Structure 1
Amino acid sequence: MTATRVCALSELEQDTARRVEVEGVPIAVVLDSNGEVHAIGDTCTHGDISLSEGFVEGETLECWAHGSAFSLRTGRPLNLPAYEPVPVYVVQIDGDDVLIDPNLKKEV
């Protein structure tokens, strides 16, 4: 598989999650306060809630429904009630294009 363009880098708002879908896989794309782009699974492992509707703080994305925060780097939950991690995807930047291959997960 090859990476798919999901959005323009210039379209991302800092400290805000954006939901994209690649090959049927929901992914939350985040431009953090340091200017780094992250891509994690968009579904909270606790309650089947879209994480992209949550809150970005530092290097975490917090589920709006129950408050579990997930690391943007590792996908691991940092607090309960979630205890299962979400997948983390490799992000490629090509000029202004943000590219993600849902079959290429980061090893953490």
Structure 2
Amino acid sequence: MSAQRVAALSELEQDAAIRVEVDGVPMALVLDSNGEVHAIGDTCTHGDISLAEGFVDGETLECWAHGSAFSLRTGKPLNLPAYEPVPVYAVVIDGDDVLIDPTILKDIS
């Protein structure tokens, strides 16, 4: 599978998340305050809640329902009640296009 366009970079708002879907895989797409674009799994691992509806703070995305914050870099939860990470996807910027391949996870090591 190859990377697919999910949004225009110019459409993203800083420190905000949007929900995108690639081949049935829901993702939260975030432009952080440093201008970096992140894509993480959109479903909170504590409950079936869309993370894209949450709050961006620096390099974290907080679930609006129960307050678990996830690292945009590693997908790891930073506080309870969530204790399982969400997947983190590799993002490619090509001009104004934001591309993601849902089969390629970002190397977080």
**Once the 2 structures are TM-superposed, how far is the Cα of residue 40 of structure 1 from its aligned partner?**
0.1
Q: 2:45 matched to which residue of 1?
A: 45
Q: What root-mean-square deviation, in Å, do the aligned CA atoms of Structure 1 and Structure 2 show?
A: 0.4
CA distance in 2, matches of 1:101, 1:88: 11
What TM-score comes out, normalization by structure 2 length? Answer: 0.98
Measure, in 1, the Cα distance between the counterparts of 2:48 and 2:100: 22
Offset at 1:106? 1.1
1:1-108 residue pairs with structure 2 within 5 A? 1-108=1-108
Q: CA deviation at 1:48?
A: 1.0
Counterpart-to-counterpart distance in 1, 2:27 and 2:100 = 9
Please list every run of 5 or more consecutive structure 2 residues that lacks an aligned counterpart in the other structure.
none
- Runs of 4+ in structure 1 deviating by more than 6 angstroms, as ranges, are none
Number of matched pairs: 108
Q: Percent identity?
A: 83
State how far apart, in whole Å, the 2-side matches of 1:35 and 1:106 are. 18
Report the TM-score, using the length of structure 1 for normalisation: 0.99
* Alignment partners' CA distance in 2, 1:82 and 1:107: 22
How far apart, CA to CA, are the structure 2 residues paired with 1:27 and 1:4? 13
State the alpha-carbon separation in 2 of the partners of residues 80 and 107 from structure 1: 24
Instruction: Name the CA distance, whole Å, in 2 between partners of 1:88 and 1:31.
Output: 14
